[in-house]
Amino acid sequence: MKNLLAKRGRLSNRGIYIAWKSLLYKVSIDERIVLWRREVAGLGSSMVVAAGMVYVYSVQSESMVYAFQASTGNLVWSAPLVPHTFHAGMQTNEPVAMSMVDRILYVLSCTGDIYALDGSSGTRLWSCETLALSEIHLGTINLTIRQDTVYYTDQHQLMAKDIQRSRQRWLTTISPEQIFLTHSLSDTLLFASADLDPEGSYIYAFSAESGQQLWQSELLPDPIFSAPIYADDLVFCIGGTTIYALDVVSGTLRWEQFVGNTNDLVAHIENEHLYLCLCGAYQQDIYAADMQPVRTKGALLALNCTNGLVSWFRNITICPSMFHVKHGVIYVGQADGKRLYAFDAYDGTTLWLLDQVIDTTDIDAALLPGFGSSLIVVPS
């Protein structure tokens, strides 16, 4: 019976999916072993796990999209996007983001082209053009899609476009002194952060249907490079050192909490808490019993969503490069890809450690390096 249960667990979609450099692999939650591993030359910075499949793309050598079976890791299909184009020795049309909506996989290239692929077969359904990304893109690269509408920005302009018909639905502008950095979508609202360098950032709320501006926050004295996170009646904004919670109806500031240097890892909300993985120790120097400083490379932090108070924090000595929260467990991946940690989201205690997650001794030396996703995905 034990063997049957283990085999059933291995063939299920449940697991932890991680992309690191040019490696895509799946770890068993229960057995805490690597179930399968695949090498993808030039593995890109997005990963989607949906409908029993794992979708990734390559950004080097050839722009390919791959679909692997989630349970076994077997390749289901691969599809080329477009032939490479180069300028001054640099590739100019590589994929940069990916999203799945209603079994359609959307892939965005840095030229602004969006490709719609059938999630089951990889068949090209259609494509549309948006604006190319600037060479220096400061905010989060978003592929924000709902039904057949894509939302994107250009400097101080925010636009919505019908993907299938390649027709603009609406365009709205803000002060030209501000530049949109990132945006996110709720059911009916579009939240966007705009940078007013060097004073700080504004947060905006727009109607997703019409583009009408509903509110503008007060100036937040912090750069907001990460997409706002929406939950219940609050919008959470992760600044360079401070977390801000705004009222979703009016945009007024409900609370703010200084936490120190934040990381570029995406924050998560679960069980009425906002979970963060910080860069360095949380607000203080940590000393051992002999008063010698302990080398702290990161910190885990849980904030109460309602009032912003710190429920708990834990300084860690590992250098985190991946962070995910699911079903009361915090997963943290070490920067070298060799260790995976699991912490209790209730109080931050260590649940388990998987050592030597990736054995690099048998990795093909000729494999082109990849960027990895810096994401840990645990399907619902």
Q: Which helix (H) or strand (E) holds 4?
A: helix 2-10
Average of pLDDT values for 54-65? 84
- 152-164 as b/e, with b when 16 or more CB fall inside 10 Å? bbbeeebbbbebe
pLDDT at 284: 56
Which one is predicted more confidently, 9 or 114?
A: 114
pLDDT of residue 297: 83
Confidence class for position 376, pLDDT limits 50, 70, 90: confident
- Residue 134: per-residue pLDDT: 59
Contact between 156 and 175 under an 8 Å Cβ cutoff? The reply is yes
Residue 141: pLDDT band (50, 70, 90) is confident
* pLDDT tens-digit map of 14-25: 899 998 888 899
Euclidean distance between the first and the last CA atom of the chain, given in angstroms as a whole number: 26
Q: What is the pLDDT of residues 277-326, one digit of tens each?
A: 998 888 755 444 444 555 568 899 999 999 999 999 999 988 888 899 99
| Residue 250: predicted pLDDT | 97
Res 210 pLDDT > 60: yes
pLDDT of res. 110: 82
pLDDT on residue 142 = 75
Work out the average pLDDT over 148-174. Answer: 91
Predicted pLDDT of residue 166? 85
Task: Say which range, 10-24, 52-66, 256-270, 331-345, has the weakest mean pLDDT.
Answer: 10-24
HSE on the CB side for 177, CA within 13 Å? 7
Please give the Cα distance from 55 to 368 (Å, whole number): 19
